[in-house]
């Protein structure tokens, strides 16, 4: 996950999204008119529930060879400033230091500006869907099917849900009734996530959704009471080591698995290459580690933390592979990536401006390909009151 840029969107680059007029009736993350209903056996909802409408989900994850992350123990497996002009608010890694998501279930400050723009989240959703690791789904399905007391369905908490892309990807790939609890600080994003959530599971079972407005950190087992699964996308790399340990402890205490996708791995490959690639990448990685955040070190730290709390951890690569068909996303990513590098190392600005111009020209001409490496993590905690 990356911190938001705050510069304005280039006119006409991205179709307009619903704005404040469409969601003025929404308070505390609850969709107006939503009925307080849900699948039987899924526990009590504390806020209104909206049956999902719409459908979604893309396929296309790529395979990788086997590898082992050293030092994580036997339970860990690894399977096959801102550049001016044209940046979508919330796109890419730029932003003020300290302006980042947390892992805390608490009320958000209503005066805080939205952290991510729907336009950016919409732009990246197809690349996210194609990158997520399908190989982690079978062990997740087995665990969910065998969780004690879940005959009526499963309850899934989606932390920092944004516009709900994880639900659109995952819900249609799981069997059985599902109740999704969507957490985000931005009521606009919660609105988009709720109204565009899938209505049915892979086997046709009902999917319902509930929204909760607030940031996500200091997660406790009590906050996850009754949870069958915790999910998040692009979250781990904006956490500190303490926050990741707290997160792992909460999941372990609640006995629920966690599927955490698209954490940055600290590696980027651009074709054709350029002499400045490595320097920009290093500056970006340093920017990601500001204020004690783990950035590209987060996946290893999370694997260690979950393993120490008794979970079996599986990791799988989930790279973005961006070519001419993803030129709009590549452009926005480039601006944010270079912008963060310059913010970290202002002395790079003159060279970076020329570099970015050349890269954007190649992107527009369909001559640039980019691989942005991520890693997906599945942590299978021991079920509460049962065997692992």
Range of the domain at 226: 20-262+297-312+376-380
* pLDDT above 50 (res 341): yes
Each residue's pLDDT tens digit, 103-159: 333 344 545 544 567 788 889 999 999 999 999 999 999 999 887 766 679 999 999
Work out the pLDDT band at 42, boundaries 50, 70, 90.
very low
Helix (H, G, I), strand (E, B) or coil at 373: strand
Q: Residue 380: which pLDDT band, with cuts at 50, 70 and 90?
A: very high
Most confident of 68-72, 167-171, 249-253: 167-171
pLDDT greater than 70 at residue 6: no
46 or 327, which is more confident:
327
Phi, psi of 151 (to 5 degrees): -65, -25
Share of the chain above pLDDT 70, in %: 67
Lowest mean pLDDT among 68-77, 295-304, 313-322, 329-338: 68-77
CB 8 within 8 A of CB 98: no
Residue 259 has pLDDT above 60, yes or no: yes
Q: What is the CA radius of gyration of the chain?
A: 20
For 114, other C-beta atoms within 10 Å of its C-beta total 15
Tell me whether residue 308 is in a domain: yes
Euclidean distance between CA atoms 336 and 342, whole angstroms: 10
Average pLDDT over residues 255-282: 96
Domain assignment present for 25: yes
Do 286 and 361 meet the contact criterion of CB atoms below 8 Å apart? no
Question: Is residue 140 domain-resident?
Answer: yes
Q: Does any domain span residue 244? A: yes
Report if residue 27 sits inside a domain. Answer: yes
Task: Domain count for the chain, please give it.
Answer: 1
Q: Tell the residue number behind the tokens 């006409």, with chain if given.
A: 12
């Amino acid at each position: 996950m990356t911190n938001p840029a705050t510069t304005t969107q280039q006119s006409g680059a991205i179709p307009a999204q619903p704005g404040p007029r469409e969601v003025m009736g929404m308070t505390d993350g609850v969709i107006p008119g939503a009925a307080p209903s849900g699948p039987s056996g899924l526990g009590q909802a504390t806020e209104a529930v909206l049956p999902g409408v719409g459908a979604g989900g893309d396929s296309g994850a790529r395979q990788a060879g086997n590898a082992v992350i050293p030092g994580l123990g036997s339970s860990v497996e690894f399977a096959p400033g801102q550049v001016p002009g044209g940046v979508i608010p919330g796109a890419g890694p730029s932003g003020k230091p300290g302006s980042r998501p947390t892992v805390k279930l608490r009320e958000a400050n209503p005066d805080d500006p939205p952290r991510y723009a729907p336009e950016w989240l919409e732009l990246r959703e197809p690349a996210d869907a194609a990158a997520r690791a399908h190989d982690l789904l079978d062990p997740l399905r087995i665990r969910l099917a065998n969780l004690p007391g879940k005959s009526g369905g499963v309850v899934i908490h989606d932390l920092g849900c944004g516009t709900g892309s994880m639900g659109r990807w995952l819900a249609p790939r799981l069997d059985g009734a599902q109740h999704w609890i969507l957490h985000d600080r931005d009521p606009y994003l919660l609105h988009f996530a709720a109204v565009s959530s899938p209505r049915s599971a892979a086997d046709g079972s009902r999917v319902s959704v509930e929204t909760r407005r607030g940031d996500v950190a200091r997660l406790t087992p009590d906050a996850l009471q009754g949870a069958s699964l915790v999910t998040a996308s692009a979250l781990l790399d904006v956490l500190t080591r303490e926050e990741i340990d707290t997160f792992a402890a909460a999941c372990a205490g609640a006995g629920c698995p966690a599927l955490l996708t698209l954490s940055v791995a600290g590696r980027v490959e651009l074709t054709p290459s350029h002499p400045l690639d490595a320097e920009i990448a290093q500056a970006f990685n340093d920017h990601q580690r500001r204020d004690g955040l783990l950035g590209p070190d987060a996946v290893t730290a999370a694997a260690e933390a979950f393993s120490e709390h008794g979970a079996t951890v599986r990791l799988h690569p989930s790279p973005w592979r961006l070519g001419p068909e993803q030129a709009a996303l590549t452009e926005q990513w480039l601006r944010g990536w270079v912008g963060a590098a310059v913010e970290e190392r202002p002395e790079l600005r003159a060279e970076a401006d020329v570099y970015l111009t050349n890269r954007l020209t190649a992107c527009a001409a369909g001559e640039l390909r980019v691989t942005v490496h991520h890693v997906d993590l599945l942590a299978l905690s021991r079920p509460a009151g049962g065997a692992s």
